Amino acid sequence: MKKGFLLLLPFLIISCQVTETLRLNSDGSGTIEVTNLRDENSYMQIARDNYSMENIYRDTTYVFGDYIKKHQETFSRTPIADQRVFLKYSEVKIHVKASSYDKEFRTVYTQNFQKAADIADLTKTDHYLADIKNNYALSAEEHYYNVCYDYNGNRFHRIVTVTDTLEQKKEFDKIEKMKAEYKGRKLVQNYVLNYHFPRKIQSVSNPLAKISDDQKSLSLQFFLADCLQNPLSTNLEVILEPEAVD
């Protein structure tokens, strides 16, 4: 696993809120946005004296496809199969705001899509950017699960599959140690799904999902650590009411 991700993992688990917002149109197109927001109160408890010593400012927006063009030389040397994966992210827009002055640390990944199957696993965006820059092969990645989506007109699926059970066990144990270390602290570590549909929701596979008053949206919240330890828990099936026939 890359050193950068190892350093980032504790922050992601114990002081972050991740929000996945999806808006689906009747023709199957739509937008998806994943926002990683550092919770300042949680991070302050962890960083302690170092919190006031931060001196960071970055505010930038770019598109994954432009990054491919910028690093075309290294991109061209990656295996063809890897290039196909990276190209799925071409239209993903990344906005990074990291300000120790405003105390705002936020990264937003946005993708417009024509069909749900085109949606990229946006949580991997930063890793893949690093792969292109450094000419890393995807075979060297230590991701242990994949997220994809499907929509057939009446049924929407968020589909999570575990791809490496040994790596999942390593992460499970690592997170257990972190939980023990920070036990008793009131830390924000949420993963929230906010999904908006073109028609009323008939049923949802997860009974904890909160459906809006107009029955066209749902919100579902998990603990981020639980999602990483058991990613299959975030699988979701949403059945919509049949489309009205004139």
Strand order in the sheet with 155-162: 145-151, 155-162, 236-240, 201-204
pLDDT tens, position by position, 70-124: 999 999 988 899 999 999 999 999 999 988 888 888 899 999 999 999 999 999 9
pLDDT above 80 for 59: yes
Provide the angle, in degrees to the nearest 10, between the axes of the packed helices 125-134 and 80-87.
140
Give the separation between CA 153 and CA 140, rounded to whole angstroms: 37
What is the pLDDT, as a whole number, of residue 161? 97
Contacts of 225 (CB under 8 A, 6+ apart): 13, 14, 175, 178, 179, 189
Give the separation between CA 210 and CA 197, rounded to whole angstroms: 14
Q: Are 37 and 19 in contact (CB under 8 A)?
A: yes
DSSP 100-157: TTTTEEEEEEEEEESSGGG---GGGHHHHHHHHHHT--GGG----EEEEEEE-SSEEE
pLDDT above 70 for 246: no
Burial of 240 (0-12, 13-18, 19+ CB in 10 A): buried
Give the separation between CA 87 and CA 118, rounded to whole angstroms: 11
Lowest mean pLDDT among 41-55, 60-74, 167-181: 41-55
pLDDT tens, position by position, 197-225: 999 999 999 999 999 999 999 999 998 88
- Tokens at 133, concatenated: 């820059």
Calculate what percentage of the chain has a pLDDT beyond 90: 61
Give the separation between CA 196 and CA 116, rounded to whole angstroms: 13
Give the separation between CA 62 and CA 73, rounded to whole angstroms: 19
What is the pLDDT, as a whole number, of residue 179? 80
Give the separation between CA 27 and CA 114, rounded to whole angstroms: 8
pLDDT tens, position by position, 145-201: 999 999 998 999 999 999 999 999 998 998 898 888 777 677 668 899 999 999 999
Calculate what percentage of the chain has a pLDDT beyond 70: 84
In the chain, what's the furthest Cα-to-Cα distance?
65
Give the separation between CA 198 and CA 24, rounded to whole angstroms: 6
What is the pLDDT, as a whole number, of residue 30? 98
Determine if the pTM surpasses 0.75: yes
Report the sign of the C-alpha dihedral through residues 234, 227, 58, 142, in that order.
negative
Closest Cα partner for 58 from 104, 114, 14, 11?
104
What is the pLDDT, as a whole number, of residue 44? 66
CA distances 175 to 96, 190, 227, Å, are 26, 15, 11
Q: What share of the chain is helix, strand, coil (3-state, %, to 5)?
A: 35, 35, 30
